[in-house]
C-alpha cells in the first residue's frame, strides 16, 4: 500500500488546555478506582486468600504477575491506537478491568485470582495507563507533565476514599458481593472516562481513515479485514527500540522498581499489623501516603514543565529519573526496617515524592524515545 506523505500543516498544534483538561479528568475516572486496589490489595483480597489459606508467596505473586502484564502490554498500546483510536483503546482497557474484577469475585484459588486480577486487570490497567499518556501528549505540549501530574493527584484523592469504602462494604456484605459492587463502580467510572476520550484530529487519524477505506476495497470478507488490522498493529510497533540498550535498560529497571514498589505498598498494612500498630495508626499511614501523593504528583508535574528543564531535555530528565530511582530504592529498604509509626509515615511520604518524580520523568523519557 502506498504510504501517505505527511505535511507538517496537517498536524494541529496541541491546544495545551481546553478539552485537554476534560481528558485529564477522564484519565482519573478510568484509572482512579482500579489503581487504588494496589494499596488496598490486602483489604479486598485478604479474605479471598484466607478462604484457601494462601501462602505469603502466593499472595505476593498475584501482584507481581499484575505488574508484569501491565508492563508487557505497553508496547502494543500505541499501534493499537493508530489502528483504531484512543477512545476504542480506552474501552478495551476498561472492559478488561471490569471482566477481571468479575472473575476475581468468583475466584476459588490463587490461579483463578491470577487470571482475573493479574492478567485481565493487569492488561487493562496497562492499556489505560499508556493510552491516557499518549492522548495527553496530543492535547498538551508545554503543560504535559503538569497534566499527567494533576491527573495523578486526582487518582491519589480516590486513595483517601477507597480503603474506607471497602471496609464499610466488608462489614455488611460478603467478599464476593463487595468485589462485584466494586466492579460495578469501576465499570460506570471507567466507561464514562472512555467515552470522554475524544481523539484529537491529526494526520494519524486522517491516514487511518484513508487506510481503512483501502482495506475495505482490498478485503472482501471478515478474516481479510482482521488480518489487515493486526498486521497494521505489528507494523506500527517501533521494533527498533528493542535494539536500544538505553531503552531496554530504563524500561527493565522501571518495571523492576515499580513491581517492588507496588508489592511493598500493598503489604504496608500487613507489615504494620505484624508490628502491632493500632488500627488508627495503620489508617493514618495509608492517609499520609495518599495525601503526600496528591501534593507530590501535582508538584512533580509542574516542576518537570519548567522551561529550564525542557530546554536541556532529555539528559537531565534521565539523570533525574536515575537519581530518584536510587533514592526510592533506598527509602523502600528503610521502610522495611522501620519500627515506629512516625518512621513509617515519614518514609512513605518521601517514597511518594520520589515515586512521583520517577513516574513523570519516565513518561517524558518514553515520549522522546
pLDDT, position 276: 79
Mean per-residue pLDDT over the chain, rounded: 76
Tens digit of pLDDT for each residue in 303-312?
666 654 555 4
pLDDT, position 208: 47
> What is the torsional sign of CA 269, 275, 279, 283?
negative
106 or 133: whose pLDDT is higher? 106
pLDDT, position 183: 94
Tens digit of pLDDT for each residue in 157-207?
887 788 788 888 888 999 999 999 999 999 999 999 999 998 876 434 444
Please give the average per-residue pLDDT across 212-227, as a whole number.
46
pLDDT, position 368: 57
Intra-chain end-to-end CA distance of the chain, in Å? 27
199 or 78: whose pLDDT is higher? 199
125 or 362: whose pLDDT is higher? 125
In whole angstroms, what is the distance from residue 179 CA to residue 202 CA? 40
Dihedral angle, C-alpha 129, 135, 140, 141, nearest 10 °: 90
Distances (CA, A) of 51 to 108, 167, 177, 299: 8, 18, 15, 42
107 or 260: whose pLDDT is higher? 107
Task: Please tell me the number of Cα atoms within 13 Å of 189 on its side-chain side.
Answer: 20
Instruction: Lowest mean pLDDT of 81-85, 266-270, 332-336, 345-349, name the range.
Output: 266-270
Helix axes 74-83, 203-218, angle to 10 degrees: 70
In whole angstroms, what is the distance from residue 139 CA to residue 141 CA? 7
Closest C-alpha to 98, from 213, 183, 200: 183
Q: How many residues does the chain have?
A: 369
Counting residues of the chain whose pLDDT is more than 90, the rounded percentage is: 18
> 3-state class of 343 per DSSP?
helix
In whole angstroms, what is the distance from residue 37 CA to residue 40 CA? 5
* Of 27-41, 187-201, 227-241, highest mean pLDDT: 187-201
pLDDT, position 239: 55
In whole angstroms, what is the distance from residue 349 CA to residue 289 CA? 6
Closest C-alpha to 272, from 331, 345, 217, 325: 345
Q: How confident is the model at residue 279 (pLDDT cuts 50, 70, 90)?
A: low
Tens digit of pLDDT for each residue in 326-361?
888 888 888 878 888 888 888 888 887 787 777 777
pLDDT, position 191: 95
**Residue 195 CB contacts under 8 Å (≥ 6 apart), including other chains:** 87
Rounded to two decimals, the pTM is 0.71
**Residue 19 CB contacts under 8 Å (≥ 6 apart), including other chains:** 139, 198
pLDDT, position 177: 94
| Residue 314 preceded by cis peptide, ω within 30 | yes
- Other CB atoms closer than 10 Å to residue 55's CB: what's the count? 10
CB 97 within 8 A of CB 125: yes
> 3-state class of 297 per DSSP?
helix
Angle at 120 between CA 282 and CA 194, to 5 degrees: 90
| pLDDT beyond 80 at 127 | yes
In whole angstroms, what is the distance from residue 159 CA to residue 153 CA? 10
**Residue 99 CB contacts under 8 Å (≥ 6 apart), including other chains:** 120, 124
| pLDDT beyond 90 at 5 | no
* CATH superfamily placement of domain 14-200+238-367: MFS general substrate transporter like domains (1.20.1250.20)
> What is the domain partition of the chain in residue ranges?
14-200+238-367
Angle at 318 between CA 313 and CA 322, to 5 degrees: 155
pLDDT, position 303: 65
Please give the average per-residue pLDDT across 206-227, as a whole number.
46
CB 317 within 8 A of CB 309: yes
In whole angstroms, how large is the CA radius of gyration of the chain? 21
Amino acid at each position: 500500500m502506498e504510504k501517505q506523505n505527511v505535511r507538517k500543516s496537517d498536524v494541529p498544534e496541541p491546544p495545551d488546555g481546553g478539552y485537554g483538561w476534560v481528558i485529564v479528568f477522564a484519565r482519573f475516572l478510568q484509572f482512579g478506582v482500579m489503581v487504588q486496589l494496589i494499596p488496598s490489595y490486602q483489604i479486598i483480597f485478604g479474605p479471598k486468600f484466607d478462604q484457601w489459606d494462601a501462602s505469603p508467596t502466593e499472595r505476593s505473586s498475584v501482584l507481581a504477575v499484575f505488574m508484569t502484564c501491565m508492563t508487557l502490554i505497553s508496547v502494543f498500546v500505541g499501534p493499537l491506537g493508530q489502528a483504531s483510536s484512543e477512545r476504542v483503546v480506552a474501552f478495551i482497557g476498561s472492559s478488561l478491568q471490569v471482566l477481571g474484577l468479575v472473575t476475581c469475585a468468583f475466584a476459588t484459588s490463587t490461579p483463578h485470582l491470577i487470571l482475573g486480577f493479574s492478567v485481565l486487570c493487569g492488561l487493562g490497567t496497562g492499556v489505560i495507563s499508556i493510552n491516557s499518556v499518549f492522548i495527553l501528549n496530543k492535547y498538551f505540549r508545554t503543560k504535559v507533565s503538569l497534566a499527567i501530574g494533576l491527573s495523578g493527584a486526582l487518582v491519589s484523592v480516590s486513595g483517601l476514599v477507597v480503603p474506607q469504602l471497602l471496609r464499610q462494604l466488608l462489614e455488611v456484605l460478603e467478599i464476593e458481593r463487595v468485589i462485584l459492587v466494586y466492579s460495578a463502580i469501576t465499570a460506570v467510572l471507567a466507561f464514562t472516562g472512555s467515552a470522554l476520550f475524544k481523539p484529537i484530529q491529526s494526520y494519524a487519524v486522517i491516514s487511518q481513515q484513508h487506510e481503512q477505506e483501502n482495506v475495505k476495497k482490498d478485503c472482501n470478507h471478515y478474516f481479510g479485514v482482521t488480518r489487515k488490522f493486526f498486521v497494521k498493529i505489528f507494523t506500527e510497533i517501533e521494533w527498533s527500540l528493542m535494539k536500544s540498550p538505553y531503552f531496554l535498560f530504563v524500561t527493565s529497571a522501571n518495571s523492576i522498581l515499580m513491581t517492588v514498589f507496588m508489592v511493598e505498598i500493598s503489604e504496608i498494612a500487613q507489615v504494620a499489623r505484624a508490628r502491632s500498630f493500632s488500627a488508627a495508626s495503620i489508617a493514618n499511614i495509608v492517609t499520609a501516603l495518599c495525601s503526600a501523593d496528591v501534593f507530590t504528583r501535582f508538584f512533580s508535574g509542574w516542576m518537570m514543565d519548567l522551561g529550564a528543564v525542557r530546554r536541556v531535555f532529555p539528559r537531565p530528565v534521565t539523570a533525574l529519573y536515575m537519581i530518584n530511582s536510587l533514592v526510592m530504592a533506598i527509602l523502600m529498604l528503610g521502610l522495611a526496617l522501620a519500627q515506629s509509626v512516625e518512621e513509617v509515615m515519614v518514609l512513605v511520604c518521601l517514597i511518594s515524592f520520589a515515586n512521583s518524580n520517577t513516574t513523570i520523568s519516565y513518561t517524558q523519557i518514553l515520549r522522546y524515545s
